[in-house]
Amino acid sequence: MIDAAITSPGGIRVGATFRWVAQIVGQKMETKGAVTAYDPPRAYARKSTSGPFPVSGGLTCEAVAGGTRVTQTVDAEPGGFFKLAEGLLMKQVQGQWDKSLKKLKQVLKA
């Protein structure tokens, strides 16, 4: 992820819109979307409304012994070039999520 921002007034809530920019398989891409569920601090979900391919997903947090379990889900339907490079795409996206979650864990422990 290179950049992300809420694009509607009123902060994060169901129906709020956002945009994010990511570097995927060497391509800089912008996706716009909307929040489809928001239940702080437990969960949120989102769905793209424009971008290189449809994507939806969410994040849940649950208390476990000694910490918090964070579960990220993503459902994407790559097409065109991205369909051909799906294996590479998924490997890169998984690596980015792993780095992001590791950084989040460091920030939360600080």
Q: What is the CATH number of the domain that holds 47?
A: 3.30.530.20
pLDDT per residue, tens digit, the chain (110 aa), is 789 999 999 999 999 999 999 887 777 889 999 999 999 999 999 999 998 888 899 999 999 999 889 898 988 777 766 666 667 767 777 777 788 778 877 887 87
Tens of pLDDT, residues 65-89: 998 898 989 887 777 666 666 677 6
What count of Cα atoms within 13 Å lies in the side-chain half-sphere of residue 57? 11
Q: Is the pTM of this model over 0.85?
A: no
Structural domain tally of the chain?
1
In angstroms, the first-to-last Cα distance of the chain is 22
Q: What gap in Å lies between CA 48 and CA 68, rounded to an integer?
A: 27
Range of the domain at 70: 3-109
